Homo-oligomer: A and B are copies of this chain.
Amino acid sequence: MTDKLEVLRASVIALAEGKKYAALRDILSTMKPADIAALFERDMPEETVPLLFRLLPKNLAADTFVEMDSASQHTLIKGFSDSELKEVVDELYVDDAVDLIEEMPAMIVKRILQQADAEKRRMINGILKFPEDSAGSIMTTEFVDLLPGMTAEEAIRSIRRSGIEKETINNCYVTEKDRKLIGVVTIRHLIMADPSAIMTDLMDDQVISVNTLEDQEAVAHQFSKYNLIAMPVVDQEERLVGIVTVDDVLDVLEAETTEDMEKMAAIVPTDNSRPYLKLSVFDLWKSRIPWLLLLMISATFTGMIITGFEDALAKYVVLTAYIPMLMDTGGNSGSQASVTVIRGISLKEIEFSDLLRVIWKEMRVALCCGITLAAANFLKLLLFDRLTVLVALTICLTLIVTIFFAKLVGCTLPLLAYKLGFDPAVMASPFITTIVDAISLLVYFQFAIHLLDL
In the docked arrangement, what's the CA distance between A264 and B168, Å?
A: 38
With a cutoff of 8 Å between Cβ atoms, the chain B residues found around residue A226 in the complex are 32, 34
Known contacts A163-B188, A292-B333, A329-B299; A320/B306 CB under 8 A: yes
List B contacts of A1 (CB < 8 A): 348
Which residues of chain B have C-beta atoms less than 8 A from A70's C-beta? none
Q: Is A302 an interface residue (CB 8 A)?
A: yes
Considering the complex, which residues of chain A in the window 207-239 have a beta carbon less than 8 Å from any beta carbon of chain B?
208, 223-229
Give this chain's copy count: 2
Contacts of A380 in B (CB 8 A): 297, 300
- A365: chain B residues within 8 A (beta carbon): 281, 284-285, 288
Are A349 and B277 neighbours in the complex by a CB distance under 8 Å?
yes
Q: Is the CB of B329 within 8 A of A292?
A: yes
Q: Does A310 contact B (CB under 8 A)?
A: yes
Q: Are A350 and B430 in contact (CB under 8 A)?
A: no
Complex Cα distance, B254 from A254, in Å, reads 10
Q: A368 within 8 Å of B by Cβ?
A: yes
CB-contact partner of A159 in B30, B191, B322, B342, under 8 A: B191
4 nearest CB pairs, A to B: A265-B339, A299-B325, A227-B247, A275-B349
Please name 22 pairs of A and B residues whose Cβ atoms are closer than 8 Å in the assembled complex, sorted by A.
A2-B351, A156-B191, A160-B191, A163-B192, A170-B187, A224-B247, A224-B251, A224-B254, A246-B246, A260-B261, A264-B264, A265-B335, A265-B336, A265-B428, A275-B347, A284-B361, A295-B328, A302-B325, A303-B322, A304-B321, A310-B320, A314-B317
